[in-house]
Amino acid sequence: MDNVPFHKTATIEPLIQSVGANILYMSPYSPDFNPIERKVVTTIALSYVNSLQPQQKWLIPLLQQLWI
């Protein structure tokens, strides 16, 4: 099960165990373990960089350093 607090209440766990099922909880969410997160952030960042005005282009090297 996921880590939603109501899945861990005193009433839910006994109900699941009463039918002979074992409860296994998922590890906490981490964007580091989800490769799509980095792709989405990079896509959003690139769209931002592409929308910069010419006088704002000095930001590009700074942003590239942050995303490496």
What element of type H or E holds 37? helix 35-50
The residue among 66, 39, 63, 37 whose CA lies nearest residue 49 is 63
Query: Cβ neighbours of residue 46 under 8 Å, at least 6 residues apart?
Result: none
Rg (CA), the chain: 22
Residue 66's pLDDT band, with cuts at 50, 70 and 90, is confident
- pLDDT tens-digit series, residues 6-65: 777 788 888 888 999 988 887 777 667 777 777 787 788 777 777 777 777 777 787 777
Both tokens of 40, joined, read 């989405």
Is residue 68 predicted with pLDDT exceeding 60? no
φ/ψ (deg, to 5) at 16: -65, -45
